[in-house]
Amino acid sequence: MASKPIAVVTGGAGFIGSHMVDLLLERGFAVRVIDSLVGGRERNLEHQKDNADLACEWRDIRGLAENDALFGGARYVIHFAGIGDIVPSIEHPTEYMEVNTQGTVRVLEAARAAGVEKMVYAASSSCYGLADTPTAEDHPIRPQYPYALSKNMGEQACFHWHKVYGLAVNSIRIFNAYGTRSRTSGAYGAVFGVFLKQKLEGKPFTVVGDGSQRRDFLYVTDVAEAFFAAAETDRMGEIWNLGAGNPQSVNRLVELLEGDVVYIPKRPGEPDCTWADIAKITSELGWGPAVSFEQGVEKVLAEIDYWREAPLWDPESISQATETWFKHLAS
């Protein structure tokens, strides 16, 4: 009996990474996870704990050796590991460059030494800055803060390794992923985590501006499907934008979640709309979103207790947490 193909998922205990692990296991892969557990949680893979095809190592990608045994014999490397959030990146830019950029170089070198068939990099649409919409892959790159810069430099490293060393790499620029297992701790950030905790506590939703801003929300299992397609394709050296191609307003989200609202000041450097032009990924990979926004929100609400341990934000704590944001991005 032939052995199963091997896939390495960096950040595999994280939000998107854990769903990627589920998909790969379903598709008949043996999966190896590396995660520092800074943002990821062992709990996200608890349902797979008895799966003999899953192996996990809780360590930092910055410590990877060029010939790291974790990558030995791997067909695919799906690289999600990194640190997110805008404000912490402004306050600690060195750490972001070390993890998101230099950490990616470590992954690239380990993948190259192992002779992997394909690596898929999880890039960020934040590289476009305040972008024209819908946003195509050839839009100018204008990172507004260190997180965006560090992720884009990681992507540049990927394509440099493709050009110089012949490593087969594709990159997917994720717009606004949401769904079950999204992060519950750390800095003030993603709207879903903030709102879900507020709903659990019976507190009003803290809506930025007037709530008319729109985000290209894509449910997490659709994200995982796109990454699998990017690994399986014969194409290499490609970049794809990934969203639903159907932006939803924050007001629509509040309507679906049901609750009272309190409005807080609009923040500098934030776009009024994020909107992925998904023509390239749909035509080249045959991928398309399968979960509607309404269905996705329903799935999240069905598991709302997951966010019970998340921090509770209110207008005062948000104001304090975003002081650096206003200071450095106001111009």
Q: What is the dihedral of CA 193, 197, 200, 202, to 10 degrees?
A: -120
Query: Closest Cα to residue 228, out of 301, 131, 122?
Result: 122
Query: Residue 1 pLDDT > 80, yes or no?
Result: no
Which residue did the predictor score with more confidence, 1 or 265?
265
Beta strands in the chain (DSSP E): 6-10, 30-34, 54-57, 76-79, 118-124, 169-174, 176-178, 205-208, 214-215, 217-219, 239-242, 248-249, 261-264
- CB atoms inside a 10 Å sphere around CB 235: 14
Q: Cα separation of 138 and 327, whole Å?
A: 30
What architecture does CATH give domain 182-215+246-273+291-329? Alpha-Beta Complex (3.90)
pLDDT digit string (tens) for 122-137?
999 999 999 999 999 9
pLDDT of residue 321: 84
Cis peptide before 146 (omega within 30 of 0): no
Query: Residue 186 pLDDT > 70, yes or no?
Result: no
Q: 213: which residues sit within 8 A by CB, 6+ positions away?
A: 249, 250, 270, 271, 272, 273
**Domain-wise residue ranges, the chain:** 6-177+217-242, 182-215+246-273+291-329
Give CA angle at 308 (306, 313), nearest 5°.
125
Query: Residue 157 pLDDT > 90, yes or no?
Result: yes
Average the pLDDT over 218-234 and give the result.
98
Query: Closest Cα to residue 181, out of 86, 54, 41?
Result: 41
Query: Residue 2 pLDDT > 90, yes or no?
Result: no
- Is 147 noted as a catalytic residue in this protein? yes
Which residue did the predictor score with more confidence, 25 or 86?
25
pLDDT digit string (tens) for 56-70?
999 999 999 999 999
Report the chain's mean pLDDT, rounded to a whole number.
Answer: 95
Choice among 96, 145, 147, 306 that is catalytic: 147
Average the pLDDT over 135-150 and give the result.
97
Confidence of residue 225 (pLDDT cuts 50, 70, 90): very high
Query: Residue 240 pLDDT > 70, yes or no?
Result: yes
The one-letter amino acid at 299: K
Confidence of residue 289 (pLDDT cuts 50, 70, 90): very high
The one-letter amino acid at 175: F
DSSP designation for 45: G
CATH topology for 6-177+217-242 is: Rossmann fold (3.40.50)
Confidence of residue 144 (pLDDT cuts 50, 70, 90): very high
Contact between residue 92 and residue 325 where contact means Cβ atoms under 8 Å apart: no
Query: Residue 331 pLDDT > 60, yes or no?
Result: no
Residues forming a β-bridge with 30: 6
User: Beta 217-219 vs 118-124: how paired, if at all?
Assistant: unpaired
Give the chain's length. 331
pLDDT of residue 297: 98
Q: Cα separation of 140 and 136, whole Å?
A: 9
Average the pLDDT over 240-259 and give the result.
97
pLDDT digit string (tens) for 91-104?
999 999 999 999 99
Contact between residue 224 and residue 20 where contact means Cβ atoms under 8 Å apart: yes
Query: Residue 47 pLDDT > 70, yes or no?
Result: yes
Q: Cα separation of 198 and 125, whole Å?
A: 27
What's the pTM value of the predicted model, to 2 decimals? 0.96
- CB atoms inside a 10 Å sphere around CB 232: 14
pLDDT of residue 238: 98
Q: Cα separation of 43 and 308, whole Å?
A: 14
